Amino acid sequence: MPLTKSRRILDEVRDVMRLHHYSIHSERTYCDWIKKYVHFHGMNSRDDLKDGEKKIEAFLSPRIRVRGTGRFRAGGMRHDQN
């Protein structure tokens, strides 16, 4: 199936995940994170995907600190591995 620019990114993500036999739960989780990322940066087009590394860091950094009391903290170590 050829991908065209008119296809939505989430549709393409779902197609790839299904091709690789990801579970429906994983698919939904990935798509939810992508939606949050797009909303966080106010993205409107594929051109907004440029400078992805900086945008990913800006998106994830506050979540690591805010959720630092959960399973993971900054640096990816589990709290119970001190």
State the DSSP string of 25-77.
Answer: HHHHHHHHHHHHHHHHHT--SGGGGSSHHHHHHHHHHHHHHHTTTSSB-TTS-
Q: Which amino acid is at 70?
A: G
At residue 74, the pLDDT reads 46
Answering whether pTM is above 0.85, one says no
Up-side HSE of residue 4: CA atoms within 13 Å toward CB? Answer: 2
Computed on alpha carbons and rounded to an integer, the radius of gyration of the chain in Å comes to 16
At residue 70, the pLDDT reads 52
Asked whether the beta carbons of 31 and 39 are under 8 A apart, the reply is no
At residue 36, the pLDDT reads 92
The low-confidence residues of the chain, meaning pLDDT below 70, are: 1-6, 65-82
Per this entry, what is the length of the chain?
A: 82
At residue 32, the pLDDT reads 94
